[in-house]
Amino acid sequence: MRETHTPGVTTHFGYREVPVAEKQKLVGEVFSSVAGKYDVMNDLMSFGVHRLWKRFFVATSGVRKGDRVLDLAGGTGDIAALLLPRVGGEGEVVIGDINAAMLQAGRDRLLDRGLLEGLRWTQINAEALPFPDESFDAVTIAFGLRNVTDKDKALAEMHRVLKPGGRVLILEFSRVNQNWLKPLYDFHSFRVLPRIGKLVAHDEGSYRYLAESIRKHPDQATLKAMMEAAGFLGVEVRNLSAGIVAIHRGYRV
């Protein structure tokens, strides 16, 4: 179902309603707090499965040698590192993230791995991309769209910066489609996850927000409709792990 906040007045931050102008700051505080432990926590939260989701996401992306790709909310560098060999020496991956701490953590990780050529890092807001029209062959965003305040505006910006024939690829938590799994998933999200956050990252509140933000994110059908409204054609949805996450793909023509 669609978000229920009053446009231009309030929006959700997890299960709280906050002024629209405050959400970006609150989300920024969450990710600044968890940046140093983000990768460890991802492994613990998903039992390492997030790495398989990301590999599959990139493996089925259709990105080719020489492509120029914009990876939004890409501060961890995980998706960029997987994309880099696909675009090759003639391509480029531009890593955009609104949070400076996440960008720094991701850049340090990839530099430690010797990954420098073909990467560009930039602090940007997905709702107002500082790129000309038709700049990229593909736009990717993994586990970041749910934290964007105005998702419709961000989708419109992704569409604008894509070249004709280019594609947007969204990997995001979605709605579980197996009834037997839902109570187990809820228990893990609201009972286990915040405790792991408290023990490992010393931050229970941020991980409670992350669990809540998943529940507030549009489901598979709603996000598909939002992408179509933004101008994307041929929108496809692929569920992974019983709908815990989903890949949405759309094209600009």
- What the block records as the tokens of 41 is 């926590």
Residue ranges of domains in the chain: 10-251
Average pLDDT value for residue range 98-116: 91
Q: How far apart are CA 142 and CA 69, in angstroms?
A: 13
User: Domain spanning 10-251: which CATH class is it, in words?
Assistant: alpha beta
CB of 252 closer than 8 Å to CB of 163: yes
Mean of the pLDDT values across residues 88-110?
93
Mean pLDDT over each residue of the chain, to the nearest integer: 89
Residue-level pLDDT at 30: 62
DSSP state of 138: E
pLDDT in tens, 55-97: 999 999 999 999 999 999 998 899 999 999 999 999 999 999 9
* pLDDT attached to residue 211: 85
Contact in structure between 75 and 99 (CB atoms under 8 Å): yes
State the pLDDT at residue 197: 80
pLDDT band at 36 (very low <50, low <70, confident <90, very high): low
Range 238-248 average pLDDT = 97
High-pLDDT (> 90) share of the chain, %: 65
- Identify the band that residue 6 occupies on the pLDDT scale cut at 50, 70 and 90: very low
Q: What pLDDT does 3 receive?
A: 44
Q: Which of 87, 83, 80, 84 is nearest to 107 (CA)?
A: 80
Q: For 127-183, write each residue's pLDDT tens digit.
A: 999 999 999 999 999 999 998 999 999 999 999 999 999 999 999 999 999 999 999
